[in-house]
Chain A
């Protein structure tokens, strides 16, 4: 299963890059994020509670950032751990391209799902995952705009 998307941000790639590694920004951007802890320089552990129609559960997961090319690209790989989230893992290549004074953030994600899914199962997961990815980057942009505004007024 593949997901793609792109978002325009008003900050330059350097600012966006730092935010991608900022647990505070990530915690506010991840939909339904309950806890987020930095486990190493490039790794985070998160608990997320989701309720989108028939998808309703608390997920635990780990996210790792790798293949870093600051401030233009990195790979986020995540996997669910335990119970309900145990079947999911995936990786997203995120690229940041300067556009005027801002940045275009694009991602291509590949998610692997355990087992063979029937039509409805894959539709449920694909639609939910696409919405969550979009929501994450929309909120990420919002948080980023807010943080930058606060920083300049200080």
Chain B
């Protein structure tokens, strides 16, 4: 199918993008990599009057390291996350997850920020930024603000962004001393949407687990934090009994629905299996 008619404007900078939006009476959509907008236009699932191209705004690009952590510009393509040495050193979890996002051709154009604002619960990056406790820097008609990844994903394809706001960059805090991370997912074929996936971040404290972040994707309407599984880990030594307790606790955290691809019980079972694998992987590196 063909897209409905729309106007197109290339924004040179953020103020111009915001101004174009302000004058659109709410009937405009920001375009970066186009990997969710273009298919949804072609399917005629939306019909905005104006596309505002933000892909060439310098303020949205680039990866840099500062005292607050690693700052990744919203228009950074997935492929850069895979290759960038700063990402590999300071946010290896993101680089690991990026391998699982779609295919090389898509990763060359689709943007990190676009992925996050689409907020597909089956996508890897929303789970990873939540597990890493990242902060999202947003620019909008009312000025700039920062939203914790924890508070950003509200519902299926729904975020805390207000109309007209643009995600500018993602700030990933510096790793805590001794922090260990792991990411994995189960998919029938490489590049498919996962049946279930998870990002794990553990920080040791005096020989036991001090902090635990476990966030699943593809098992709910948002990236799902596994609070009961985290609680089963905190204050414990990372041994087989603790891992078994955390895997069992997953059943309290996740209530996936039945769908034609996978019955709910199977998806829940796979989530427990996957968490076990991830925790054993971290256990191997545990000091």
Contact = CB atoms under 8 A, between A and B. Distances in A.
Interface of A: 1-5, 52-57, 83-84, 86-87, 114-115, 117-121, 123-128, 130-131, 134
Contacts of B268: none
Contact of A131 (B42, B46, B156): B156
B43 A123 contact: no
Contacts of A130: 257, 259
Given A4-B260, A124-B39, A87 B157 contact: no
Contacts of B273: none
Contact of A119 (B44, B193, B259): B193
Given A114-B1, A127-B156, 8 more contacts: A1-B260, A3-B259, A52-B157, A53-B118, A124-B39, A124-B43, A127-B157, A130-B259
Nearest to B158: A53
Contacts of B64: none
Contacts of B39: 118, 120-121, 124
Contacts of A114: 1
Contacts of A125: 43, 45
A52 B158 contact: yes
A54 B122 contact: no
Contact of A57 (B37, B47, B193, B260): B47
Contacts of B47: 56-57, 84
B8 to A, nearest CB: 17
Interface string B16-57: 000000000000000000011101101111111000000000
Nearest to A53: B157
A117 B46 CA distance: 16
B45 A54 contact: yes
22 contacts: A53-B157, A54-B40, A54-B46, A56-B47, A57-B46, A57-B47, A84-B45, A86-B44, A117-B43, A118-B39, A121-B39, A121-B42, A123-B193, A124-B39, A124-B45, A125-B45, A127-B120, A127-B156, A127-B157, A128-B157, A130-B259, A131-B156
